[in-house]
């Protein structure tokens, strides 16, 4: 199977949300969207029975959950629990918030279950927010994990892959029974899937299929940075 690769920058049109990975792509676990919140504006204000995970690519603002404010900024991984009235506000006078949002499949399958903000009372459960700068990369790169309350998928911040680096070099890659959903934050690289090579670059969303051997290479002259989403079952597996 070939990976799905779409670039947010190439697809983005002002005022629109980009569906980088949608139901039509038959993802096993999650979908991914890219959006921009301009100064003084907000994301959709709603409440629904599924969670969001969001990564802030650029900018800063406020996450509102059940009427409470939580400051957010570039590099934050955000877990917004289900049944919480929420939206993100860009409260700055200049500069956009750019972000990717990850949702379980049910979010697209049951859009009618989403209600306007303020229509019903939220659960009051707070979000969980962690910035990659607070990770001890020597101990791991899990930005959001099952210990943080996420029910379906984990968020990993992959540290800089330096020029010339190759993942799983000795084995020629690795294989596991879950997919990866990846967003390239910076740089360029090569993804090898099932023996075929694919060039990837900043702004690319990539869905690598399960049970197919894959490997990353940085053949450029600058570090490559990624954020990765895996099904929660991957947490307890060796890979």
Q: Contact, 45 vs 118, CB < 8 A? A: yes
Pair 86, 190 in one domain: no
Overall average pLDDT of the 117-134 stretch:
96
Name the band, by pLDDT with cuts 50, 70 and 90, for residue 209: very high
In tens, the pLDDT along 133-155 reads 999 887 789 999 999 999 999 99
Pair 14, 129 in one domain: yes
Pair 125, 26 in one domain: yes
Quote the domain boundaries for residue 220: 142-234
Pair 15, 123 in one domain: yes
Q: How many domains does the chain fold into? A: 2
Spatial CA neighbour of 188 closest among 229, 157, 216 = 216
Question: What's the rounded Cα separation, in Å, for the pair 187 and 207?
Answer: 18
Pair 155, 211 in one domain: yes
Pair 130, 156 in one domain: no
pLDDT of 238 higher than 90: no
Name the band, by pLDDT with cuts 50, 70 and 90, for residue 101: very high
Residue 127 domain-assigned (yes or no): yes
Tell me which of 134, 167, 193 is where a domain ends.
134
Residue 239 domain-assigned (yes or no): no
Pair 127, 155 in one domain: no
CATH number at residue 35: 2.60.120.10
Pair 86, 25 in one domain: yes
Higher pLDDT, 1 or 97: 97
């Amino acid at each position: 199977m070939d990976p799905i690769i779409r670039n947010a920058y190439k697809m983005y049109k002002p005022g629109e949300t980009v569906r980088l990975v949608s139901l039509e792509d038959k993802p096993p676990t999650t979908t991914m969207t890219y959006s921009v919140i301009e100064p003084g504006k907000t994301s959709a204000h709603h409440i629904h029975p599924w969670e969001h995970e969001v990564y802030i690519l650029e900018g800063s603002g406020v996450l509102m959950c059940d009427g409470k404010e939580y400051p957010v900024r570039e590099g934050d991984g955000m877990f917004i629990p289900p049944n919480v009235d929420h939206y993100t506000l860009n409260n700055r006078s200049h500069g956009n918030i750019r972000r990717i949002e990850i949702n379980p499949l049910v979010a697209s399958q049951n859009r009618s279950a989403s209600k306007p903000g303020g229509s019903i009372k939220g659960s009051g459960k707070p979000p969980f927010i962690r910035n990659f700068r607070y990770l001890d990369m020597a101990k791991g790169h899990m930005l959001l994990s099952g210990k943080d309350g996420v029910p379906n998928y984990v968020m990993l911040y992959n540290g800089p892959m330096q020029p010339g680096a190759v993942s799983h070099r000795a084995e020629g890659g690795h294989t596991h029974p879950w997919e990866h959903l990846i967003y390239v934050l910076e740089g360029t690289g090569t993804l090898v899937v099932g023996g075929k090579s694919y060039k990837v670059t900043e702004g690319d969303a990539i869905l690598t299929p399960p049970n197919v051997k894959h490997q990353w290479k940085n053949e450029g002259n600058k570090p490559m940075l990624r954020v990765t989403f895996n099904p929660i079952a991957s947490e307890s597996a060796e890979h």
